[in-house]
Amino acid sequence: MYGLIYFFVILVGIIIFFSFLTLEIGVNVRIQNKKNNAVLVLRLLRGLIHLKFNFTFIAPEKGILYIIISKANSELEHRLNVEEIFYLFRQKRTKYTRFSGYFRDLLLKIIITNINIDLKLGLQDAAHTALVFGSIMTVLMSLKGYLPNKFNIKNTKIKLTPYFNEAKLDLALDCIIKLKLGHIIITAIRMLLHSIKGGDISGRASY
């Protein structure tokens, strides 16, 4: 009996401890003409726990797109068909729609900082480049002004460079995403309780 109580107390203590930790995700995306690479770095305890994953999109033939996922310092890699991923998502979408309110609440807890966007674009034609470049600049600047009012987005830097006489696509995107594990744990508990009760989400609950 006492062993069960000790186990429960230790379990609660571990959950409370992890609830105060912040999960930090470093995002690094590079696209250079037809080459692309994305890196996700997950950090806990100020980098004491450190996981790094590489993502690359390849198209071995027309109409087929794969994403290759590999872990740093490991020869193992997974190849996933992007079309199959979207198919599974569409299949499961209805099932998870009832949790949309919880996902929305969790999204509002995310902090995105140190966003750096560096885009170099050229379409070989000066007129087309100017038109597309102006449209992209308008959209990005609008988002830069709008999104911080809706989400926790801080320190955004955007650098756009047009190339009027050559074909070029060079994109560098970096940012840091932060989320307390406590928010994830609480959201998971709320979703579990919701599934047990079998009810519908009624409004947002702050935590």
> What pLDDT digit, counting tens, does each position of 139-169 carry?
999 988 888 888 899 899 999 999 988 888 8
pLDDT at 63 over 70: no
* Residue 109 is assigned to a structural domain of this protein: yes
Domain assignment of residue 90, given as a range = 22-197
Would 13 be classed as within a structural domain? no
130 found inside a domain: yes
Q: Mean pLDDT throughout 113-141?
A: 91
> Which residues have CB under 8 Å from 18's CB, separation 6+?
181, 182, 185
Say if CB 115 and CB 157 are below 8 A apart.
yes
Q: Is residue 156 part of a domain?
A: yes
Q: Is residue 16 a part of any domain in this protein? A: no
Q: Among residues of the chain, what percentage have pLDDT more than 90?
A: 28
pLDDT per position as a tens digit, 32-42: 877 888 998 99
The pLDDT tens digits of the residues spanning 12-28 come to: 888 788 788 899 999 99
Task: Using DSSP bridges, classify how beta strands 49-61 and 167-180 pair: parallel, antiparallel or unpaired.
Answer: unpaired
Using CA atoms, how far apart are residues 143 and 71, in angstroms rounded to an integer? 32
d(CA 167, CA 148): 33
What is each CA distance from 29 to 22, 105, 119, 176, 207, in whole angstroms?
22, 27, 12, 12, 32
Q: 23-37, 67-81, 114-128, 160-174: lowest mean pLDDT where?
A: 67-81
* Count of the separate structural domains present in the chain: 1
Percent over 70 (pLDDT), the chain: 92
Classify residue 73: in a domain, yes or no.
Answer: yes
Max CA distance (Å), the chain:
79
Q: Between the CA atoms of 62, 118, 115 and 39, what dihedral angle is there, to the nearest 10 degrees?
A: 40
Alpha helices in 20-163 (DSSP H): 82-97, 100-109, 126-150
Quickly state the pLDDT bin for 6 (edges 50, 70, 90). Answer: confident
pLDDT tens digits, 87-104: 877 777 776 777 888 888
pTM assigned to the model? 0.78
Token readout for 55 is 């993502």
What does the pLDDT average to over 43-62? Answer: 82
Q: Does residue 11 lie within any of the structural domains?
A: no
Residue 132 lies in a domain: yes
Query: In 3D, which of 105, 92, 112, 94 has the Cα closest to residue 186?
Result: 105
pLDDT computed for residue 160 by the predictor: 92
